[in-house]
Chains A and B, each alone.
Chain A
């Protein structure tokens, strides 16, 4: 096993010198490079555990001068951290030895049946078991963090009661409700009243069939601000109940940008309209007058008046073009949102 190359730090808590020597012997026999620390009392053990030494395993005798039984086991499990605790008992304590397993110890061994290989096996299994359960805990923690520390607001709601079942930090920050307030509310409470009908329809129709949902909805913050939110959600089971995990992205700012762009487009269309309608009026007039002068001139025609029409139309055209330039500059100089 891997132990043969790695140094093992072991703590033996045993007040009986004979028992300690025996255990120590067994250990040396099976595990070549083990470092064994000895505590004769619970308070000594506590001291060693507080010294910042990482123990790979702890062997615990159940009757110490300053502590024993259930209380001792509980305290030790609490102090042991990631190290597995293996209980050593006598025959008389066998029943209790079994019970200690539910208190968090990794294994129990009967002193009278103890032998080197059994002791070694128990330590090896306990360390491995503890390592796996620690990994599991860590991965659970990782997933919890993914939810709670996500920069985007997330929550879980019950698809039957609409109640918030869990909310993350970002949701609390963004919406202004405390966790307790959220957990006392339903998702209907953050919707404008007129949107609740739609919400019920969506939740109902997606309850079973649709696993993934995406849409844009409106939410109220606690301070009353109405925001536009893109929500994505999928069906999960949360503490045994069908629920949806929701990821909400506030896109209000994005919508404001779009509005600003649309306003600008409107102005551009206005300019295009001016070009099409207003510019052409005096231009068409000039074209007509030239047509008349060229093709339909008669003796009695007042050519001066016709030339004046051309000039006034040209002036009008000039004014219109200046107006277009002014409007274009207005669009260009519009403050960027």
Chain B
């Protein structure tokens, strides 16, 4: 059983840099990236099998389907319990942080930039620590 790491962000440079951090920190050797929430849901719908676990680094502001819409959409989906979400956003608005707490899937909230230290912190989060 292993943890698949997904990155959802509409900024290619951010994806490139976050992938580098995720790999360097050992969070995942092969993170998979998407440019919006909808693409991530399509992937999960297709790939999810019983017993899989996913960690999603989720941006808030994205076109097509933003981070909040993504969280709302997965609530009724078969993989809703297999998904842990870390919000990775440039927003420093406390309202966004409070809103994120209302979703059971959200296990952490990180203000960009993501760096090695924050990736290591994610690895130690109790909800997913067993998977490393």
Contact = CB atoms under 8 A, between A and B. Distances in A.
Interface of A: 273, 276-277, 280-281, 283-285, 287-289, 291-292, 295-296, 309, 313
B91 A276 contact: yes
A283 B92 CA distance: 12
Interface string B80-114: 00000000001111000000000000000001111
Contacts, number: 52
B17 A292 contact: yes
Interface of B: 11, 13-14, 17-18, 20-21, 24, 60-61, 90-93, 111-116
A288 B113 contact: yes
Q: Is the interface of B mostly helix, strand, loop or mixed?
A: loop
A296 B113 CA distance: 15
Nearest to A309: B13
A277 B114 contact: no
Contacts of A280: 90-92, 111-112
A284 B20 contact: no
Contact of A277 (B21, B90, B113): B90
A285 B11 contact: yes
A296 B20 contact: yes
B61 A288 contact: no
B17 A285 contact: yes
20 contacts: A276-B91, A276-B92, A276-B93, A277-B91, A281-B90, A283-B90, A284-B14, A284-B90, A284-B113, A287-B112, A288-B17, A288-B18, A288-B21, A288-B112, A288-B113, A291-B113, A292-B20, A295-B116, A296-B24, A313-B13
A285 B115 CA distance: 11
A289 B17 contact: yes
Contacts of A273: 93
Contacts of B112: 280-281, 284-285, 287-288
A288 B113 CA distance: 5
Contacts of B115: 288, 291
